[in-house]
Structure 1
Amino acid sequence: MQELTMYQVDAFTSVLFRGNPAAVLVLDDWLPEATMQNIAAENNLAETAFVRPNGKGWDLRWFTPVHEAPFCGHATLATSHVLAHELGIDGQLVFETQVGTLRVDRSNGGYQLDFPSFPPEILTETPAPLQAIFGTDEIKAFRNFENIFVVLADEQAILSFVPDLPEILKLDPLSLVITAKGDEHDFVSRYFAPLAGIPEDPVTGSIHATLVPYWAQKLGKPNLSAFQRSSRGGHLLCELKGDRVLISGSAVTFMKARIYLP
């Protein structure tokens, strides 16, 4: 029987039970892919992160309850917190991932994540599921490689939105982000990914790699305060810097556990 240590971390928050929980396992080498997927399904969190040393830094992979994810921000933050805060690793953390090299630095008691920017691609035609979800074809929308983004009128529209998950599933292989100009923050958002086994994600770092270039252009400034308006909620301080998006946030450890594999 194999014993492994697993951490659970609330990311994009400094207060327990807020932000987005992620599980993190620091490995010597990858487990079989089916085993990593089974661990993620057992955890039933938005993401379980697996990280291993590669001689120069770290290799990082993320799994939802149903499949491997190409990009995850909150689990990157959670992994950085485990390596720095729980395991005492100093200095910049460099992760090799499916979306390229991600760098994380300690910043003002929290962490600054350096992600690639994925600028918005404007949709010229409205997909039929969006018309069903929003009841109109007069929709302002854009996309990136994994999500469709819909801009709503204001923050109240974000808060009152009730997701039609069966219709959102029809966007396959894409998931849905809604966003609007914020009242107290520059912009707000919510994220629905039922295809990934995540009806609503509490706080999502990866979507901000596209939201930040969109709102930076819209508002005419590179530094932005963002808030994800899920029931748990999470605050992200963002900066568009050339072809990179910098996102700052905090994290707190909820649990350290031993898991037992056959």
Structure 2
Amino acid sequence: MKYVIRLFAIVLLLAGGIALARLSMANHELQRQITQLEAEVGRMPIEDSERVHLVEIESPEVPPEVAARVERVWQFRCYLPPDYGMMRFSGDGRVAEEGLYFQGGSSSGSGSPSPEAIHQLMTVSFQKKGDRLEAFHAFGGSSGTSSWGSFDVDDFDDSWVVQKAVSSSRGPRSFDHETILPLLKIYDPDSAEEKQVAGQPVTTYAGGLFVLCPKSLNAEFDQLKRGETPAGFDPSWVAGVAADE
């Protein structure tokens, strides 16, 4: 009888182990699906409400009538903490492979700090209009368009290098609220030119930037755009690149 009981116990243990393994595999697959869904719709966990959180939306929703005209589009969901004051910057001209150096035409706008945390959507898209390339950007309730004359409209899509502060393939990122956030840097690697920038030789490219900058670092951002190093500069002031395309 005791052998029957032992055998029964062993069978139960084996069955329990198999069930546990299957449950673990199912949970792993469910987590993978949740992570994929969050990347697609821009959901992100807010573990520290005092930090800025970003996530790239893997498959931006674009109306069919618009999608037919758009060449490329990126969307980023942004969580902005309470009392976060920031400036939006976009422009095209000349950029460097690294850093925030910029020379060219630009536009900027500022947002008033909100006493409550808010979620905003940043959208950047490009379309061809005749012999020129037009960029559209929208953030919160503001938007704008600009003509990007620095790219060859016939093959710009193939030659672009795109640097992003956050990538859907790598998931959300969070940053201290005192961090300059270059969401997108786009440039043509075949347009290299050597320039003297702040007394140093720098290779620049036809391209542009889309940046969110805390108001407290506006002056430092202006210096970095000129290729200058602000007093007491710490590389952590600028978000690093998460991925290149």
TM exceeding 0.5: no
Determine which structure has the larger helix proportion and give its number.
2
Larger Rg computed on CA atoms: 2
TM-score between the two structures when normalised by the length of structure 2 = 0.26
